[in-house]
Amino acid sequence: MKDFLGVLQLLKRFGIYVYTGDRKVDIDMVQSEVKDLYDNGLLMQEDYLQAVLILRNEASKP
């Protein structure tokens, strides 16, 4: 997982697809889904932290 697309592919493994047409809303929804997966013990801490870092970087882009 190296970029936003990698995070989306991670979610796809769990049957979660996110696309609203608005990139900022997509990023917020993906962050929420990743947190839910981690809170429920479905993601390892390393994957969670890497995904959060990528999503924060994406959110800061103009």
CA separation for the pair 60, 38 (Å, rounded): 23
**Tokens 């190296």, residue located:** 2
pTM, 2 dp: 0.91
**What's the confidence (pLDDT) of residue 57?**
97
Q: Where are the domains of the chain?
A: 4-60
Please state the rounded mean pLDDT for residues 8-22. Answer: 97
pLDDT at 62: 82
Each residue's pLDDT tens digit, 18-59: 999 999 999 999 999 999 999 999 999 999 999 999 999 999
* Domain topology for 4-60: Helix Hairpins (1.10.287)
